Amino acid sequence: MEAGWFAGARIMEKHNMETRDAILIRILGDRHLRWAEGVILLVIVLAYVFFPTYYTLLSQIFIFCLFVLSLDLLVGYAGLVTLGHAAFFGVGAYAAGLYAIHVSPEPLSGLVVATLVAAAIGLLSGALILRTTGLTFLMLTLAVASVIHEILNQAGELTGGADGLRGIEMAPVLGVAEFDFMGHTAFIYSAVVLVVGYLFFRQVIRSPFGRQIVGIRENAVRMRAIGSPVYLRLLGAYTISAGMAGTAGALLAQTNQFVSLSVITLERSGEALIMLIFGGAGKVFGAFLGVPVYMLLQDVLSRYTPIFWVFWIGLMLVLIVKFAKNGILGIGTRLFHKYRGRHA
Amino acid sequence: MLNVNNDSILVTRGLTRNFGALRVTNEVDFDLKAGARHALIGPNGAGKTTFVNLLTGILRPSAGTIWANSEDITRASPEQRVRQGIGRTFQINSLFRELTVIENIAMPIMAQQSLGNRIFGARSSMKDCFERSYELLCDFDLQHVADRQVKNIAYGEQRLVEIAIALGLQPKVLILDEPAAGIPSSESHVILDVLRKLPASVSILIIEHDMNLVFQFATRITVLVQGAVLLTDTPDAVANDARVKEVYLGNR
């Protein structure tokens, strides 16, 4: 069977080989991402050096970047639109909080445990609801999130119910870095976890698994026709994404040392979706653009128009969905290509 | 178990499918020989597409049996049949529109090599997949659009990608559901050229309306009328058969 697909398969000319290699590098390669990765790393370092008073806000941005990145895997890559992703963020947050109080205040093991718990909940709920598609699926994600929200609310003795989970005290990271008031440790801790999370995400979307997920987004019928187990692949993506969201939630619990039910609301799921749409869904760096832009906008707008800021966010969302389908990143890419086209 | 000739790779006996009171496939006995170039023709509504859907497992038969390589696959799922080596193309293009041509063709190659569940340590096999994918698209003369999004290439080229995806699975049996659909008959020779280059080891069942293409390509033709087999014979015999002429009424 190795002999090629066609009778008398052609011998490739040297010229052809060179074109092939150029295309393969473009499709498989990472070069075009390198500079963007470098810029993001630089921004993090600059923020660390120049904005020590904003460490807490910046850590929050990192945490949301990780959360939105996990959402991107579902919405952007697998094509599964969900309104219940905050459920996994919340599960991770509560798992990390409870682990710190009842088991061990050691942060790294807490992070791992919270990730696994969220992934397990993702696997279980995904196994049920991924049998459906489209609107039914969307509604079921909402339902699952509501159920989990209510469970956490009712289990007041364990979770503190509407008062939130108090009394979380974290041990120093790796036994040396104490969580401080200025948020210095929280900043570095969240940044490192974000980078590790991103590297994992990148690995996933570049792997055969990740490409098959995109294939399912593009054409699930055809994926079935080429023998790919669509349901299992989506379940895999759902579980991975839930785990990542759990990591983000755990980070929030550990750095804030407090968890409230607000981590798991519909607003949080919707907000994450808006951040992703702002940045650009299905793009590697959509989350890294959308989250800071949204949080900055929210900060500025709510200061100048404390009553109407939601309106302005909404208006911008409508404009982006209407005129810039791929978000800010899409606009940027288009401008870049235009510019390059003119100077080529 | 039955009198299947050993050189038949896909066999049906008494294959029947009812939609309510309507019998769309009526006790079809069909043999696809290894390496065959077999066409299935018939007027509109003859049940050709239903027959294909029964073969590929999208529909379950009401009665009858299907064997692939003398193995009973009547109850097998579409995915299992793909693993048995039965590939198909679609009448209406079923592509990954936002992806590039090379990525489209790599998709079945990844699936065929069972790489789809790999997240770690698949870098080199992935490169291999894409190299094979490029090789395959060269065979289809698609190298000039290799890294264009499929939705942006010409319709005729999309038809070729449709066939290339099915071929990427390295099937033993390839079912071509109207490969020239939407192609003006003046240009169907492009499709014919590609079909003629397909490896002899692949057995082909082609459903097609373009009679020029069918009679130039197929070495054996089955005529389906109202869900039942009217006859199976060589192109010449079919072309001269009085009953076929009656069914097609001047169509050829």
CB spacing of B147 vs A23 below 8 angstroms: yes
More confident residue, B85 or A12: B85
DSSP state of A162: G
Domains and CATH numbers, chain B: 1-85+172-252 (3.40.50.300), 92-170 (no CATH)
The answer to whether A246 and B154 are in contact (CB under 8 A) is: no
Interface residue of B83, B110, B113, B176 to substitute, partner A, most A CBs within 10 Å: B110
At B143 the pLDDT is 85
Nearest-neighbour CA in chain A from B32: distance (Å): 20
CB spacing of B79 vs A229 below 8 angstroms: yes
Nearest chain B Cα to A213, which residue?
B116
> Cα A314 to the chain's mean position, in Å?
21
Q: Which among B111, B134, B139 has CB closest to A227?
A: B111
Least-confidence region, from A49-63, A163-177, A185-199, B124-138? A163-177
Chain position carrying tokens 């509504």:
B45
What backbone phi and psi angles, to 5 degrees, belong to B230?
A: -80, -50
Nearest-neighbour CA in chain A from B211: distance (Å): 24
Q: Which residues of chain B have pLDDT under 70?
A: 1-6, 249-252
- Return contacts of A232-235, CB within 8 angstroms, 24+ apart: A232/B117, A233/A209, A233/B116, A233/B117, A234/A78, A234/A80, A234/A126, A234/A130, A235/A123, A235/A126, A235/A127, A235/A130
Least-confidence region, from A194-203, A217-226, A296-305? A296-305
Interface residue of B107, B110, B136, B173 to substitute, partner A, most A CBs within 10 Å: B107
User: Coil, strand or helix: which one is B87?
Assistant: strand
State the Cα–Cα distance between residues A226 and A254, nearest whole angstrom: 45
More confident residue, A87 or B78: A87
For residue B2, count other CB atoms closer than 10 A to its CB. 9
Q: Which among A28, A210, A222 has CB closest to B96?
A: A222
At A267 the pLDDT is 87
Residue A329: partners with Cβ closer than 8 Å, 6 or more residues away? A279, A280, A283, A285, A286, A289
At B55 the pLDDT is 92
Name the nearest CA neighbour of A121 among A274, A264, A266. A264
- For residue range B199-246, what is the model confidence (pLDDT) as tens digits? 889 999 999 888 889 999 999 999 998 888 888 989 888 888 888 888
End-to-end CA distance of chain B: 40
Q: Give the up-direction half-sphere exposure of residue A100: CA atoms within 13 A in the CB hemisphere.
A: 33
* Rounded average pLDDT over A104-116: 94
State the Cα–Cα distance between residues A170 and A179, nearest whole angstrom: 7
Q: What are the helix (H) ranges across chain B?
A: 48-56, 78-83, 101-112, 123-139, 155-168, 188-197, 211-217, 235-239, 242-248
In terms of phi and psi (left: phi > 0; alpha: psi -120 to 50; beta: otherwise), the region of A273 is alpha
Partners of residue A219 in chain B, C-beta under 8 Å? 94-97
State the Cα–Cα distance between residues B223 and B217, nearest whole angstrom: 15
> Is pLDDT of A97 > 70?
yes
Amino acid of residue A308: F
* Rounded average pLDDT over A203-221: 93
Nearest-neighbour CA in chain A from B231: distance (Å): 30
CB spacing of B94 vs A221 below 8 angstroms: yes
Nearest-neighbour CA in chain A from B107: distance (Å): 7
Interface size between A and B, measured as CB pairs under 8 A: 140
For residue A307, count other CB atoms closer than 10 A to its CB. 7
Nearest-neighbour CA in chain B from A225: distance (Å): 7
> Is pLDDT of A210 > 90?
yes
State the Cα–Cα distance between residues A28 and B55, nearest whole angstrom: 36
Q: Which among B87, B107, B166 has CB closest to A215?
A: B107
Question: 46-75 in B: which are within 8 Å (CB) of A?
Answer: 56
Nearest-neighbour CA in chain B from A247: distance (Å): 19
Partners of residue B98 in chain A, C-beta under 8 Å? 218
- For residue range B155-176, what is the model confidence (pLDDT) as tens digits? 989 999 999 999 999 999 999 9
pTM: 0.88
At B239 the pLDDT is 85
> Is pLDDT of A9 > 60?
no
- For residue range A265-286, what is the model confidence (pLDDT) as tens digits? 888 899 999 999 988 888 888 8
* Rounded average pLDDT over A117-128: 96
* Partner B contacted by A208 (CB < 8 A): yes
At B88 the pLDDT is 92
